[in-house]
Amino acid sequence: MSQASITEQLATLNFTQDLPESVRDALAKIASERTLAPGDVACREGQSTKELFLIVSGHVGLDMFVPGRGQVRILTLRSGEVLSWSAIVGNHGATATGTALDKTHVIVFHDDDLTRLCQTNHHVGYLVMRELAKAISRRLVSTRLQLLDLFATEKA
């Protein structure tokens, strides 16, 4: 698959669509593409992860292991969302297991390349980190809402 198609895809994805074109081009240069088959594991809880994924299509389930309960699904990710942010900001230890639920197309950034790009070009670095922070903050809000267990005593 060509670089041009990655650039095009970045222009449509929630995570990257608001970035300036030059920044998307810089990102496209260090990105690769991959297709996950249902059941493929993109990152595994507790294990080192060096890749950050941007989901283009398909779904990825995030599971955490709870002794006595097994794998518990905590979130489903879909197009436009980041997977495995720990690769960039989390000391490389994956906090959950990400498993493709169907045929899932992803854009992949290697930590070394992305970190190097961000460090050498702070403009890109700032914008990428800001998008990452926004994505993580959205995830945090959702997690809080989940924590509130709003439908435990619910209303119509």
Partner 1 sequence: MTTEYFLPKAALQSLIDCLHGDGFTVVGPTVEQSAIIYDEIESVDALPRGWTDRQEAAKYRLERRDDDSLFGFVVGPHSWKKYLFPPLTTLSSAQQSESGWQMQTPEADARKLAFLGVRACELAAIGIQDRVFTGGPYVDPVYNARRKNAFIIAVNCTQSASTCFCRSMNTGPRCSSGFDLALTELPDGFVIEVGSDAGTELLGRLATESVTAEQLEAAEQARQQAIDQQTKQLNTDSIRDLLLGNLDHPRWAEVGAICLGCTNCTMVCPTCFCSSVEDVADLSGENVERQRHWDSCFNLSFSYMSHGTARNTIAHRYRQWLTHKLASWHDQFDSSGCVGCGRCITWCPVGIDLTEEVATIRGNEAFCDLGTENEE
Partner 2 sequence: MSSTSTGLPNLDPWLAYTVRIAAVTHEIDDVSTYHLKFTDQAVADTFSFQPGQFNMLYLPGVGEAAISISSDPAKHAMLDHTVRIAGNVTRTLANLEVGATFGLRGPFGSAWPVDACCDRDVIIVTGGIGLAPLRPAIYELLNRASEFGQLTLLYGARESAGLLYTGEFDEWRSRGLDIHTTVDRASGGWTGNVGVVPQLLDRLPLNDPQNTTVLCCGPEVMMWYTARSALGRGIPQERVYVSLERNMNCAIGLCGHCQFGPTFVCKDGPVVRYDCVADFLRVEGF
Ligand X SMILES: Cc1cc2nc3c(=O)[nH]c(=O)nc-3n(C[C@H](O)[C@H](O)[C@H](O)COP(=O)(O)OP(=O)(O)OC[C@H]3O[C@@H](n4cnc5c(N)ncnc54)[C@H](O)[C@@H]3O)c2cc1C
40-54 exposure pattern, b = at least 16 Cβ within 10 A, e = fewer: bebbbbeeebebbbb
Q: Which does 110 bind (CB under 5 to 8 A by kind): partner 2, ligand X, partner 1, none?
A: none
Q: Tell me the CA distances in angstroms from 117 to 27, 30, 120, one per residue in order.
A: 8, 9, 5
Residues 44-63 that bind partner 2 (CB under 8 A): 59, 61-62
Q: Which does 64 bind (CB under 5 to 8 A by kind): partner 1, ligand X, partner 2, none?
A: none
Q: Which does 95 bind (CB under 5 to 8 A by kind): partner 2, ligand X, partner 1, none?
A: none
φ/ψ of 131, rounded to 5, equals: -65, -40
Instruction: Answer yes or no whether residue 149 interacts with partner 1 by CB under 8 A.
Output: no
Candidates 29-37, 44-52, 116-124, 134-142 — which segment interacts with partner 2 by CB under 8 A? 134-142
Instruction: Answer yes or no whether residue 75 interacts with partner 2 by CB under 8 A.
Output: yes
Q: Which helix (H) or strand (E) holds 35?
A: strand 31-36
The amino acid at residue 3 is Q
